[in-house]
Amino acid sequence: MLRLEARPQPSQLWSYGSPLLALLVTVLIGIVMFISLGKDPLRGLEMFFWLPINSGYAIGELLVKATPLLIIALGLAVCFRSNVWNIGAEGQYIIGAIFAGGVALMADKTSSGWIVVPILLAGVIGGMVWAAITAVLRDRFNANEILVSLMLVYVAAQVLSYLVGGPWKDPMGFNFPQTKTFEAVTRVPRLFDGSRVSIGVIFALLGVLGMWVFLFRTRAGFAQQVGGLAPAAARYAGYSSRQALWTALLISGGAAGLAGALEVAGPIGQLTTYLPAGYGFAAIIVAYVGRLHPVGMVFSALLMSMFYIGGEMAQSRLGLTKSLTGVFQGLLLFSLLACDTLVNYRLRLGRSGGQ
């Protein structure tokens, strides 16, 4: 029988090369999938890996998709390194967008351009408030943060649906569940004319730098990671597991809320039931493919954005379902898990121990 045996010393090279191998496996499975669907596999791979980067405009759209994924993933990385399993970033993203949208709806044509600042701050606060619910339930009642944060995603979606279909509904919107389009003054400034790329990219890159400094150059970041790797050692060293829980969830929630604010005050420009795009769930894959390292997540966010854009193009040009995006995301995650397993364990043929 086949059994897994822990390797005495996992390969350092393959520990970092595992994501590349997982990507290769994903591509090979994708080729088989396109063939089974009766589509040209080269044409299909072109949709996912070439067209999203074949022009300046395409790269701009890639950055638009990558920005919220990277910002959310940075927050999630703090949680996962702290052994806090926040699976509800999608809900924090939605609530952050709602808070930001509420401020944006109060603006009129006479408002100052500086209103963008309270809009983004409102998004951060909204995400932190939603994450704090999970923190309270875990801290006070020892509730499982995986279940709590995940269930709150659906509550957040219902709150959004109620608002855009009720008190915030656009009276001139032909009965569609959406708010009015926000005033131009509330829009997040764009970096280039003719492109949708906004200053959110700058926030994301600053977040990469800030997260690297926090995790690897500060005592607080060290305490977060020690608490995740060795809780008993952390307690012995005097680090508070309670403080680590709150810090991780508030940072993660604030990052997700900021991403939501950048979306509604940027490319979308209003609140609508189509706001939930799965970024909060996809960012989990971004975090792990990027090895929970701020720099690595830059590349994994770009890769995941290619999957989003490729899925949209495959739908419009090849007649395939948009769910193909989720298929590629799932393939990448499971390929990575399989590769990581083989990096740390080897397959042995024979009887298991004790038999």
- Yes or no: say if 207 and 78 are a contact pair by the CB < 8 Å rule: no
Rounded to the nearest integer, the mean pLDDT of the chain is 92
Give the best-scoring range by mean pLDDT among 293-297, 321-325, 342-346: 293-297
List, in sequence order, every residue forming a beta bridge with 348; answer none if it has no partner. 3
pLDDT-above-70 percentage for the chain: 98
Q: How confident is the model at residue 16 (pLDDT cuts 50, 70, 90)?
A: confident
Q: What is the pLDDT of residue 351?
A: 63
Q: What is the pLDDT of residue 354?
A: 47
- The Cα 245–Cα 209 span in angstroms is 22
- Yes or no: say if 128 and 150 are a contact pair by the CB < 8 Å rule: no
Q: What is the pLDDT of residue 350?
A: 66
pLDDT at position 353 over 60: no
Digit-coded pLDDT (tens) for 249-269? 999 999 999 999 999 999 999
Per-domain boundaries in the chain: 1-39+320-355, 64-318
Sign of the C-alpha dihedral, residues 104, 107, 113, 114?
A: negative
Domain 64-318 classification at class level? mainly alpha
pLDDT mean over 117-142? 97
**Residues 6 or more apart whose Cβ sits within 8 Å of residue 322:** 311, 312, 315
pLDDT at position 225 over 90: no
Name the residue among 207, 228, 251 with its Cα closest to residue 80: 228
Q: Which DSSP helix (H) or strand (E) runs through 216?
A: helix 200-217
**Residue of 71 and 225 predicted with greater confidence:** 71
Give the other-Cβ count within 10 Å of 158's Cβ: 11
Q: What is the pLDDT of residue 5?
A: 87
Q: How confident is the model at residue 355 (pLDDT cuts 50, 70, 90)?
A: very low
- The Cα 253–Cα 257 span in angstroms is 6
Digit-coded pLDDT (tens) for 31-88? 999 999 999 999 999 999 999 999 999 999 999 999 999 999 999 999 999 999 999 9
